[in-house]
Structure 1
């Protein structure tokens, strides 16, 4: 905590500023999320624009526009020269809807739904149940029911898996593996990019039947439709496609501890001898002190799932060992935001 001279100048005291800024940090988050929601960064991807031009194009009130835009400059997501605004390099890379790396689909649903859900944190802390005073008691069901929401959310997840796929393609030795299954793999972006990086691979996506059409469209776009298949089913109850490598990305954290154990145990027989399971999420450090974003992610999952939470790296290693995998290793992903645990089968 920073210190400052007290009013009398005789000593030092802790500054309250960090706590005050932390207490209103949701102001910054909502300003960014709203900018994504109204398409500000996509508009600026067409070229720099003045306050007046942006107000007209985005229907911003003159009382609010300048303060809103300058707040985003202060937050380092916009640059300004005189009265002309432009995207920062990071905003241009990740918040322009015209790019494959666009993360705004996730931010849009965070603005529309998660921001409201977090208003129920006090209630959820006392009941242990999701906060249901908004669109749906089942957050993910709500996303998948709405075609537009589903496509935006999946596109945002794809922007993340674009990075993760490249790291997995380079970080795991695929030379001895010929087949891979992405369990809960949506429209197949991860497996598609793995197959493009390693042309000998054949893949399968296992997910809900309503994603079949989106899968076929995306495979055609990636040019991998001849090497990747789609199988629908319930990954707790139905047999999984057998493969050398089974991947569970952003799946386990949606479920409680017993269900996570059961899911990895269920997957074990479908990993071929000598193969492995790859599990990645925003895992918590084992001391539960360092990764604030992962610990806050636990609270987010409290608000939107019946039993989900993030979990520690050690807990994930135990899921794999208890299922029968002989040894485990870890791999940092996405600038350390994610962690992969790999369980190896004899």
Structure 2
């Protein structure tokens, strides 16, 4: 029968953590970085490189699953097979490339994979399921540990890298000269836009412990003349004045009252005609298509307890309440968009 129900989707979603772990384990092992260097390898060469103790069949199953998912190319089969990176894997999962987004996958593996095991508790209690369960503030715990902070910054940069590239190429910067990235993390948004907009100057604005990581990236891109760091706390300090104020994955951390406070601060930092830009997994207004945005919102329950992702209609309502003149939305990479408010 043509429309006979099947359990296919139930099984696909129910075993989703299998697929996730296969990808993030390959990222942690730096398999895609290895294949970018070697161009192609046999299954047994890969097994020998890592010293896997599982059977040959297990190795082929693992690599062929990555091939089935579209992350690897394969010529031959099993003993005759040679594996290489698929194009997106080569661009985004080779750790030696500036376009690497694997930091997010590394954090999923090292932090969030375990925390998400407590989703039922989060729903029942409304409480965070991360470091805060031990009485530690999430951000204080992350910022107090330099290695954890670096991993967190790489993760935030990784999840947004495709969006930064799309934003740099599709947003109309022609009438703007300055940009401040609030919670600028590793300064990658500023650096990527700076590469495409040579007439502009940038401030990557974040807490003081972040500055050394951002400065390292700025030196790597050799853009010290146009991208600088600024130290500040958006709960205590005014946002630096600029023609464009950007917040990438910032608003969704907080409850509605705090979102409005941050948008007011952005409004105050802008001139007439200036733009406030929120880059996140904006949920579709009907709340039925952007599964990533909805899952990211659940992740905010795990991470912050009170934060949530939002629709463009939500954003427009808040922008109107703050005093912005108009709003529009610019689709970026995959499920993410730039929600834009004009003063």
> 1:132/1:143 Cα in 2 relative to 1: closer, same or farther (>3 Å)?
closer
Greater C-alpha radius of gyration: 1
Distance in 1 (CA, whole Å) between partners of 2:61 and 2:264 is 54
Change (3 A) 1:27 1:141: farther
Establish whether residue 74 from structure 1 lines up as the match of residue 74 from structure 2: no
Contact 1:192 1:224 in 2 (8 A): yes
1:7 corresponds in structure 2 to none
**Structure 1 132/105 Cα, relative in aligned 2: closer, same or farther at 3 Å?**
closer
Partner of 2:122: 124
User: Which residue number corresponds to residue 56 of structure 1?
Assistant: 48
Q: Deviations over 1:134-169 (max 9, x none)?
A: 996555544444433433443454455554344333
CA contact (8 A) 2:157 2:185 kept: no
- What CA deviation, in whole Å up to 9, does each residue of 1:261-299 have, x standing for no partner? 111012211111221211121011111111111111111
Structure 1: runs of 5 or more not aligned: 5-11
Pick from 28, 33, 39: which aligns with 1:37? Answer: 28
Partner SS, residue 272 of structure 1:
coil
Offset at 1:17?
2.4
Query: Using the alignment, how far apart are the partners of 1:297 and 1:254 within structure 2?
Result: 10
TM-score by length of 2: 0.90
- The 1:265/1:32 distance shift into structure 2, 3 A limit, reads same
**Distance between the aligned counterparts of 1:134 and 1:178, measured in 2?**
40
Alignment of 1:1-346 (within 5 A): 13-47=4-38, 48-63=40-55, 64-80=58-74, 81=76, 82-132=80-130, 138-159=137-158, 161-335=160-334, 337-345=335-343
Aligned partners of 2:216 and 2:131: how far apart in 1? Answer: 35
Task: Decide whether the 8 Å contact of 1:138 with 1:305 is kept in 2.
Answer: no
TM-score w.r.t. structure 1 length? 0.89
Bigger fraction of residues in strand: 1
Compared with structure 1, are the counterparts of its residues 182 and 52 closer, same or farther at alpha carbon in structure 2 (3 Å cutoff)? same
Q: Secondary structure at the match of 2:246?
A: strand
Structure 2 CA distance for partners of 1:140 and 1:69, relative to 1, 3 Å: farther
8 Å contact from structure 1 (residues 40, 58) kept in 2: no
> Which sections of structure 2, spanning at least 5 residues, go unmatched?
none
The superposition leaves residues 217-265 of structure 1 with CA deviations (integer Å, 9 ceiling, x where unpaired) of 2222222212233221111221111111111111101111111011101
Please give the per-residue CA displacement for 1:295-325, whole angstroms capped at 9, x wherever unaligned. Answer: 1111111111131111111111122111111
Check conservation: 1:95, 1:104, Cα contact below 8 A.
yes
For the Cα contact (< 8 Å) 1:117–1:134, is it kept in 2? no
User: What do the CA deviations read for 1:72-113 (whole angstroms, capped 9, x no partner)?
Assistant: 222222233223222222222211111111111110110121
Contact 1:102 1:156 in 2 (8 A): no
**In 1, distance between residues paired with 2:123 and 2:155?**
29
